[in-house]
Structure 1
Amino acid sequence: MNCFSSWIQSQGLVDLPLLGAKYTWSNGRRSPIQYRLDRFLVSPDWLEAFPSILQTTLPRTTSDHCPLLLIMVKDNWGPKLFRINSSWFCKEGFKEKISAWWSSFQVEGFAGHKLICKLRLLKLKIKEWFYEESRMKEAETEALHSELQQIDNSLNDTHIPNEVLSRRIQIIQALSIAALQEEASWKIKSKARWIAEGDKNTKYFHSIASMRARSKAIVSICDNGVWIDDKQAIADLAINHFERLLSAKSWDRPCLDNIQFSSL
């Protein structure tokens, strides 16, 4: 199996996460021998076109192999958590904006209340800034690529002005900075921090992030021996579980009254 895994990696293929049974083959004995022999292998380009694809096992009947089913999962579990992306700090003036926004917030109350409210306001400001920056960045990148293509098409001419060549260098530098920022963004999502900072392999980071998202997908859940695949039922089950777990109860807690502690 190690040789097979090495071959998969050498061919640049992706082994999709398997849901359901851990193994796909069994000899059916009382002390069974089990292996994962069956799997879907896809290319990174195909995976980029269908990022929400998973493979799951079906019940084994007459065969000693589990049938595999390729499914596309599109779940909406509500709003996503807000996370700071390190690529934002590559943006010129981002830190200054944070400082200016923070100073502009006027909140009344005790210190803890002020901190919580200002953090919430700051999150909204950063979201608005990120949305606008993303829209402008996409338009700017498309314009730079178009201008670079026009310059490259004109390089066949006998005489190229120096200002055109200088402009071409400026465009390449701007596109390189944009590529570094995009790479840093996908590094955060993929958590592939072992790659050196200079590797412009955005497609690799994108595939790792997509793989993590697929491996964390909740397609079904078992409740008292019953499998549930309805998304609303799964959400209700999770809410009820944590409500029971975190509900306040009357506990006998240790008391520190009348205990003298030595002072420093």
Structure 2
Amino acid sequence: MVEEKLDRILITDTWLSLFEGAKACSLISPYSNHLPILITPEVVNTVRRRRRFCFDNMWLKEVNYREMVKHSWDKTIGMDVLLRITVCSQDIWRWGHEYNRDFLRKIEGTKAKFERLRTRRDSVATFILEQRAKEHWWKGGDSNTKYFHNSVKMRKRRNKVHKLQNEDGVWIDNADAIGSVMVDYFQLLFTATKW
């Protein structure tokens, strides 16, 4: 007879990181061909090591950085050079930690501001399209911007003047000449006539 273990345990990486010393063993069950599994979680105390110092070249562009290094170096005058370097590096490490944390906050704040501006721009663009389309049913229904965009294009095509008849009765279809016909018409219309 061939026996195979079919029962399994599923855990996540997070759980495993919390209980690295966990043990599992199969128990004997007289009533089933499946074996119950007993998990004995054991918390392993791990000593957190301090993160290694990493210098970031971006700090060199900060005015505050140079001032902090100068202040740190000046406050250790008279000490051994190795001790001065140690104190200065600790100050740099603390300053860099704060700077990077603030930098990440600024990035998140900028992303949030960008998102607000993007949604505002989208709503303004939709409003302009709706206004240009002269469609009012959108208030109670679907606001499909493609529809409004096509509606604006259709309205523009419909309102375009393709040809005009001048005062001599000649049809003008050249765009520049149409403009001249319009100017001449309105100048004649608004010119005061003496009675």
**TM-score with structure 2 length normalisation?**
0.42
Q: Which has the higher helix share?
A: 2
Answer with 1 or 2: which has the greater Rg: 2
Which structure would you say has the larger RCO, counting Cα contacts within 8 Å and 6 or more residues apart? 1
**TM-score with structure 1 length normalisation?**
0.32
